[in-house]
Structure 1
């Protein structure tokens, strides 16, 4: 049974929307315009991007799927997809991703919780 059947497309859209938000945040906070912001921008990236990733992923998920633990795994899958994309496109090094992964996973779950799931 293929993963991308019609009834699974909502999950794919949800995770890809979260991935798009995370990559957009990564490029925004790394831009030359915001380069002189220093620690506040770094803190914003470390907090706002994973929380927003969880919120957006949950927002685009189907309503009937919110009554189980699957909402946590959707946000975690979006985080892991972001980490893989950041590694593949050389946006971050492996050690940076390993260090930041627990924070992103935890804060994406906080973002899911903020949506009221």
Structure 2
């Protein structure tokens, strides 16, 4: 069964930062896989001003037991004062069962 899988949505300032964070997360066995999507445009409010800029998305696929360690790692190593880190549930009965099983086996506590 593929219970308690999560997808963390993280934004970074650069593709290099996403790559560095992603590689270290995988090396530390905190996730099964990361995906890096450069070239996202963001518009947001910060300090009462509207900001606009290019960012890179880092998607982290992991088990719920590793969400907090991944979150702490990102907070400790991110360039932003308040980085976007959002955990989304991965439905256990939707998607490719073989992939979900692999994701579970690679990311669950051992």
TM-score normalized with structure 2 length: 0.30
More helix by share: 1
TM-score normalized with structure 1 length: 0.29
More strand by share: 2
